[in-house]
Structure 1
Amino acid sequence: MKTESLPQTLDSTNDRLLFTATLQLVVGQASDKGRKSQNEDAIGIRIPAGVSLISKGAVSVISDGVSTAEGGARASAISVSNFLADYYSTPETWSVQTSSTKVLTALNRWLYGLGQDYRDARRGFVCTFSALVFKSCSVHMLHVGDSRIYRFRDGELLQLSHDHSTSINSSSQYLTRALGMDVKLDVDYKTLSVDVGDLYLLTTDGVHDLLTEFEIHKKLTTFSQQHQQLTDDTCEHFCQTLIRTAFDLGSKDNLSAQLLYVSQLPKQAIDEVYHSLSQRPFPPPLSVGMKLDGYQVTHIIHQSQRSQVYRVVNQQDQVFCMKTPSVNYIDDAAYIERFMLESWTGQRISSAHVVKVVEQHKTKSALYYLTEFLSGTSLAEWLTQHKKAPVEEVLLLLKQIELGIRAFHRRETLHQDLKPDNIFITRDGVVKIIDFGSCYIKGIAEISSPLTRDTILGTADYTAPEVVLGYQADGRADLFSLAVIAFEMLAGQLPFKGKLEKCRNRQDFLRLDYVSVHQLNPMVPEWIDIALKKALNVEPNLRQADTCELVHQLTTASHRRHAKYFVPLINRNPVRFWQVISIGLFLCLVVCLFN
């Protein structure tokens, strides 16, 4: 199999994420039926070129159809071919773990369903599954069954996988976990760093049941010493030799092996990254009447130290918004990368409640991107005109905002800068989230870069505590921001008396005092106040699970008596509590004395 080198651009029509990356693998594989009548093993390696290699990585898969399963051979073939196809069909914004887990879950259910035609599901479509996904400077391992994954580094052999099997006696074993065995799938997943020179070996039990770890180590040591310059042919020859050795030792099973050598990793100097990122020039500040690539500026919508936004029209009189980077950051590689990520992210978020990035079909002469033009007002302007707006109106807007946020989260992307200025209400009453400048994309975060990226990009008044404190954030960070916006819309002021902005450490956040939104606006039902208080908790795990749950609680009337009416007596009136306890103990003593 030929190794494909990685181009230096992650291209989306005309918007390129110029990640300088040169991940290169040398690979080989071999499989043989051995002494069996048919080969129930399946193997596959895919090293894509261009965009997919950067965003999704290279994949190696090995599977062994369970001999006692009537559909074992088909199961292994299906698992390898479908995983290699479906994994690359998942969104580029998804992490390796999310993409692979969803694909494997679907595969397992399909195989399990096929196996229901048999009296015993364990004898249906069952196979082992082991895979390595090489992405950037990491390797992601997925494993279920008794196939094995080894790593050979600096003369040391390490078995990365764990056999999911149990011995019945000295000569018999049975699988405890496999693909298609149960409707629920438990896959071992781990992420490891990769070094140049690493060798990764994947084998089925027909090989490693006959070859001890010592023998495999010896063969890899000899192989690495004899071949200073590895090629695909030498790796394939090693796999053939390995399975032939196992066959000669008396293996009665199918034999398969894959060998992957890491020859180069994407680790460049910062000047190389900057050179790649600066290939497209910054446009100069534009004024009304000026043209750029056929787009004429009609209005200057926004100008700041970081960017400019213009209303532009093309030759067909179509109206768009054009965003350009500020020349103040022309030497800032991290800023350029983030600006390029904005349009890339926007093209991958599809929702009626997220502003659409316009895909251009011609080459750009400068660094900018276009979005649909929106007529209406920002939520910030709306708030100045609607102090303590009717609850029903606020809830209608919040539902739409949540739908937009959910579109980000489906793509494993956090907006991280939800605030009234970044939410737009069109003249038709449609709410749209705008601006992608602070987004955290899980799939992109896995790509290594020498750049020092900003971690806190949002506005302090609306940013979740865990983000400010530098902890790992998830969708509950955007949930917190949504709750702040909801509170402001209902109360006419920010929660915690506007003190969020001044919090710098954990103690500052713990000292915050929640003031009831019902107290500030008596028209707000108490169930809404309870939901907002929960969503604004400093601890993420004490908030709602996601934004959908928050909106459900905000919009669903609760007729039960609320928790605040059931505050324990010891908290409401400690003196009365101990008086009651004392009287109770006294009465018990009197009863005991008279008995």
Structure 2
Amino acid sequence: MHDSYQITKDDNVMSESLSLTIGQHSNAGRKPINQDRYGLFIPSEPELTTKGITVALADGISTSDVSQEASATSVNSFIADYYATPDSWSVQTSGHRVLQSINSWLYGQTRNSEFRYDMDQGYVCTFSGLVFKANKAYLFHIGDSRIFRLRNNRLTQLSIDHKKAGDQENSYLTRAMGLEQQFHCDSKTFDANLGDIFILATDGVYDFINENQIIAAINTHTDDLQKASESLIQRAFDAGSDDNLTIQIVRVETLPPLGMPNLQHASLLPAPPALTPKMEFDGFEILRELYVSSRSHVFLAKDMNTQENVVLKVLSTDLEDDQEAIERFLMEEWITRRLNSVHCLKAIESQRQRHFLYSVTEFIEGQTLTQWMQDNPHPSLDQVRRIVEQIAKGLQTMHRREMIHQDIRPDNIMIDSSGTVKIIDFGSTRVAGVAELGAETDLILGTAQFTAPEYFLGYQGTAQSDIFSLAVLTYHLLSHELPYGSSVSKAYSVAAQRKLSYRSLVREEHKIPFWVDDTIRKAASIQPHKRYQEVAEFVYDLGHPNKVFLNKAKPPLIDRDPVLFWKCVSTGLVLIVLYQTLADYL
């Protein structure tokens, strides 16, 4: 009678960070085949922190003879593929993309089989899953399996049934894995408190036992959730359940501290001594100082093993005891290691053990964009396009990994000797997957002149925030000015931002086409939803006339040259006064 499927290391796992106690059981019941599947996976560090623990359950549909394959695929693939997604992605993004892929595969299997004209006989199942990460529980649900939470002896259903109610013959699923090509999955996020109990169950269980019986079983077997799950399956069977029966019971035992353990461990390393040229330090020879800022000191160094020139970066002495600054410093290298783009600074991998707190990256022989602008005060539109296009490719790599740079500006861009443009500073970058661990700050980390206006209202950045910064940088390259002057950083309310006015680049001294100016205007819109959705869209319109902009009338004089507009208005008023005076005299 027992037919279960699970991916797990241990049913009871304790760790210094996140730990759960788990009981789970499945039974074919009165049916010859068990079409339910369940699974869980508890990884070791660092995945335990960066990705969390997965629990999943799927229920096949009785009208299909292959539904158990859909259930097994959904559970198995969700758990395996979720951990294959980038650790920079948020849980929601990872879960959705994995389930969407599974849904497409199941739908395709049915469409390519003898069941293509009757989906109810194809590869279809329900799915309910939980991902526990940091102090949150992330729910993914489609179909009529259910997820409950038991807190303070009160049972709450967290999922919503996707089912048309009726008698057994007339009820049917309105949503399920593999049922439709278009995928629609419920996803929610809940706080996970110590002692919270989450329950996943198929309809063969919850239709035949009530809330009080579930609570009583868990309270009776509070020290053995496996016995609790088995007793509830037996109770539902004894109550006349005619379906497969599956249940998982998960209790939160301990919660991790906020932040990433690998970063916390690295932050215990001591600050390096004062670095000077010709000094040997941790396997490197310091050659010369490259750059000093309030946040860090940057040196050119030679790796004494490989003889390769590298850049060695250390925290400013003023920040050596600032825990938040240390975490941002460590995060910068963590981010750099995960960006595989010629247009993003590359981290140098080293097998040597570090004895001090520092980071090592590639050395770029070239100049910053700030220096390039000084050498090229009047760049052509094509030169600007080539630079912006390369910055955009670096940003696109980041956005695909759910990273928002938040500080695009000339000093953070390098152009090497071959003309390749690279983003070099990631100290302000927001990573969705890391933000879920509580490693966030309310500070505005970017440079005021290039920072998107939503930051000054207290909102989190998005890809549109980086697009705004890139548009301002483009404007700055073409004019050495800013589209709103210095007003954006002074506008701390919606009302104040509504008064901001974009100054058109269509002026005699710049000779910029109307459609290019409109492209920059859109990308630098004060309201994020009016900007381009993807950085690639902005770059494309920057090089190809958008028909919408071409069909627009020439911008009014007040937009093109406000000073000239008001001069004309003043001149007109003077002429009117003179005319009226002359008329009165005559």
Asked whether 1:363 is paired with 2:353, we answer yes
The alpha carbon displacement at 1:273 in A equals 12
Q: Tell me, yes or no, if the aligned pair for 1:6 and 1:50 is still in contact at 8 Å.
A: no
Offset of residue 329 of structure 1 = 1.4
* Paired letter, 1:127: C
Query: Contact (CA 8 Å) 1:289, 1:297: kept in 2 or not?
Result: yes
Shift of 1:219: 2.8
Which AA in structure 1 matches 2:234?
R
Q: CA RMSD in A?
A: 2.1
Residue 426 of structure 1 deviates from its aligned partner by 0.6
Match of 1:192 among 190, 214, 227: 190
CA distance change for structure 1 residues 520 and 134 in 2, over 3 Å: closer, same or farther? farther
1:308 to partner: Cα distance: 0.7
Superposed, 1:404-553 pairs within 5 Å as: 404-448=394-438, 453-519=441-507, 521-553=509-541
- 1:153-174, CA deviations, whole angstroms, 9 ceiling, x for partnerless residues? 0010001111111124266521
1:155 aligns with 2:153: yes
- The farther-off stretch of 523-532 and 103-112 is 523-532
Match of 2:331 in 1: 341
**Who is 2:365 aligned against?**
375
- Measure, in 1, the Cα distance between the counterparts of 2:488 and 2:540: 25
> CA contact under 8 A between 1:4 and 1:49: conserved in structure 2?
no
Is the contact made by 2:267 and 2:357 (CA closer than 8 Å) also made in structure 1?
no
The residue aligned with 1:125 is: 123
Q: CA deviation at 1:36?
A: 1.1
CA shift, 1:544, in A, is 1.2
Q: Which secondary structure state, in structure 2, belongs to the residue aligned with residue 512 of structure 1?
A: coil
Could you tell me how far 1:400 is from its partner in structure 2? 0.6
Deviation by residue 1:356-396 (Cα, 9 ceiling, x = unmatched) = 01121121011111111101111111111222310011111
* Residues 186-226 of structure 1, C-alpha deviations (whole Å, 9 max, x = no match): 11110011110111111111111111233323333444xxx
Residues in 1 aligned to 2:437 and 2:244: alpha-carbon distance in whole angstroms: 37
- Give the corresponding residue for 1:392: 382
Deviation at 1:490, TM superposition (A): 1.0
Task: Give 5+ residue unaligned stretches, structure 1.
Answer: 8-21, 568-595
User: Cα 1:251–1:134, aligned 2, differ >3 Å: closer, same or farther?
Assistant: same
Classify 1:96/1:504 alpha carbon distance in 2 versus 1 (closer, same or farther; 3 Å). same
Work out whether residues 284 and 327 of structure 1, in 8 Å CA contact, stay in contact via their aligned partners in 2.
no
Shift of 1:67: 1.2
**3-state secondary structure, aligned to 1:466:** helix
In the alignment, the residues of structure 1 paired with residue 264 and residue 229 of structure 2 have an alpha-carbon distance, to the nearest angstrom, of 41
Q: Which residue of 2 aligns with 1:322?
A: 312
State the 1:264 CA deviation. Answer: 0.9
| Cα shift readout 1:258-296 (whole Å, capped 9, x = no counterpart) | 010001112479xx9998564211112211011221111
Retained in 2: the 8 A contact 1:6–1:53? no
CA contact (8 A) 2:344 2:423 kept: yes
Q: Which residue of 2 aligns with 1:305?
A: 294
CA distance in 2: counterparts of 1:561 and 1:80, whole angstroms: 52
Structure 1 residue matching 2:246: 3-state secondary structure: strand
Letter in 1 for 2:325: Y
Residue matched to 1:258: 248
Aligned residues: 542
Q: In structure 2, give the amino acid aligned to 1:78.
A: T
With over 3 angstroms needed to count, the CA separation of the structure-2 counterparts of 1:398 and 1:521, relative to structure 1, is farther
Maintained 8 Å contact 2:296/2:313:
yes
SS at match of 2:485: helix
Q: Which amino acid aligns with 2:78?
A: F
Note the alpha carbon deviations across 1:390-412, whole angstroms, 9 max, x for none: 00111111111100000110000
Please tell me the residue identity of whatever aligns with 1:372. Answer: E
Q: TM-score, normalised by structure 2?
A: 0.89
On the 8 A contact 1:6/1:49 being kept in 2, the answer is no
Distance change (3 Å), C-alpha of 1:402 and 1:506: same
Structure 2 CA distance for partners of 1:47 and 1:98, relative to 1, 3 Å: same
1:121-163 deviation digits (Å, cap 9, x = unpaired): 2321000000011010110000001111110000100011111
Q: CA deviation at 1:456?
A: 0.8
d(CA) in 1 for partners of 2:218 and 2:385? 64
Contact 1:424/1:433, CA 8 A, preserved across alignment: yes
TM-score by length of 1: 0.87
Query: What secondary structure is seen at the aligned counterpart in 2 of 1:183?
Result: coil
Q: Which protein, 1 or 2, shows the higher relative CO under an 8 Å CA cutoff with sep ≥ 6?
A: 1
